[in-house]
Amino acid sequence: MSDRHDTIRAIEWRDDRLYLLDQRLLPHRLEYLACGTAPAVAEAIRKMVVRGAPAIGIAAAYGVVLAARDAHAVDPAGWRSAMELDLRLLESARPTAVNLKWALERMRAVMQQIEKDPEARLLQEARRIHEEDVRANRRMGELGAELIGERCAVLTHCNAGSLATGGFGTALGVIRAAFSAGRIERVYADETRPWLQGARLTAWELVQDGIPVTLLVEGAAAWLMARGLVEWVIVGADRIAANGDVANKIGTYSAAVNARRHGVKFMVVAPLSTIDPETPDGHSIPIEERPQEEILELAGQPLTAAGATAWNPSFDVTPAELIDAIVTERGVILNPDRKKIGALFQREGDCCNDQE
């Protein structure tokens, strides 16, 4: 797979600290924010300097390294207890993305194995999580691209690319792989209000990598499908329940409903760490509600009449019955349900056999 369409990395560990590409400033400014403490990482997650479920998990893992460093400096014997507050700050930064919890649990497990100074061993594990994510994304890219038959255009929502992951991307990973293979000719991207991740981030990523992209408002997506201009909707996920229901950026459910109405196939691309077997269905997924000012204002300027209020859920839930395929690094689940999701976790090693 060509690296020509994989040029962006939003998370970097260098100079003994974490650097996060500040996605709030894109596409106009390309700046990295240095985080030298776990609270700084938690604040960066909360304020959407870094966003996207896999990227949040990776950033949190590096945040644990910073927490352990500071705790060990203060209390070499009781560093585990001394870093608990920082761990709770990281865990509460954003509630919907399950990768955050998954990464922290994995780092906690490593913490229990360490006898001396924890920094080096925890940094090794955080880097491993980061590297595994990139490998998983490339594998998902290959598997998802195989589902796309004749050369076509596709629609994506929000940003599930390199900016939302350790690199290469989930939904955009499939798009990158399929474009390199000649199976995608154009990407349509929803604007994704209110943070405009599609307009600011997805369009920017695709332009950087030379992939043709056309932006549209969410309200135009149904008409795009009705005109037969796309064959697939390809999105990422922030949490997948045990029955295959998917929580993703608000507007994903609308895209799925419209896709089913117009005979457009719907693909969700997410690593195994995004599937939460402890969440039975979509009704059990906590949906983050963000400040109403995000809708009522733009760049600090009011958009509506004084006194109006706003409802601002950051995510919605797409029922499994509206999803044609869930692509993970372990394989592809067609027409997902509870049984197929459970079987995926029982498999050993990487596998690319479809579950019919």
pLDDT in tens, 138-191: 999 999 999 998 899 999 999 999 999 999 999 999 999 999 999 999 999 999
**Half-sphere exposure for 56 (CA within 13 Å, toward CB):** 28
Bridge partners, 268 (sequence order): 235, 326
Q: Does residue 195 lie within any of the structural domains?
A: yes
Q: Give the bridge partners for 99, in sequence order.
A: none
pLDDT at 1: 47
Phi, psi of 130 (to 5 degrees): -60, -50
Considering the domain architecture, whether residues 189 and 280 belong to the same structural domain is answered as: yes
> pLDDT band at 356, cuts 50/70/90?
very low
**Binning pLDDT at 50, 70 and 90, where does residue 347 land?**
low
Q: How much is the pLDDT for 98?
A: 82
- Identity of residue 188: Y
* pLDDT value for 300: 85
pLDDT band at 323 (very low <50, low <70, confident <90, very high): very high
Q: Are 269 and 280 in contact (CB under 8 A)?
A: no
| 90, 115, 133 - which closes a domain | 133
Please tell me whether residues 235 and 192 are part of one structural domain.
Answer: yes
The three-state secondary structure class of 322 is: helix
- Could you list the residue range(s) of the whole structural domain that residue 66 is in? 3-133
Candidates 287, 352, 330; CA nearest to 342 is 330
The residues that are catalytic are 238
pLDDT tens for 86-136 read 999 999 998 777 889 999 999 999 999 998 899 999 999 999 999 999 999
Same domain for 119 and 11: yes
pLDDT digit string, tens, across residues 252-294: 999 999 999 999 999 999 999 899 999 999 999 999 999 999 9
Q: What is the pLDDT of residues 191-239, one digit of tens each?
A: 999 999 999 999 999 999 999 999 999 999 999 999 999 999 999 999 9
Q: Tell me, what's the pLDDT at 354?
A: 40
Domain stop point among 78, 102, 133: 133
> Do 73 and 177 reside in the same domain of the chain?
no
Domain count for the chain: 2
Distance separating alpha carbons of residues 228 and 231, to the nearest angstrom: 7
Boundary-marking domain end, from 106, 133, 160: 133
Are residues 297 and 333 located together in one domain of the fold? yes
Residue in 319, 312, 311 with CA at minimum distance from that of residue 336: 319
Mean pLDDT for the stretch of residues 54-68: 96
Q: Is the pLDDT of residue 344 over 60?
A: yes
Does the pLDDT value for residue 2 go beyond 80?
Answer: no
Is residue 356 in some structural domain? Answer: no
The secondary structure element, H or E, covering residue 157 is: none
Closest by CA position to 251, among listed 324, 206, 198:
198
What is the predicted pLDDT for the residue at 4? 65
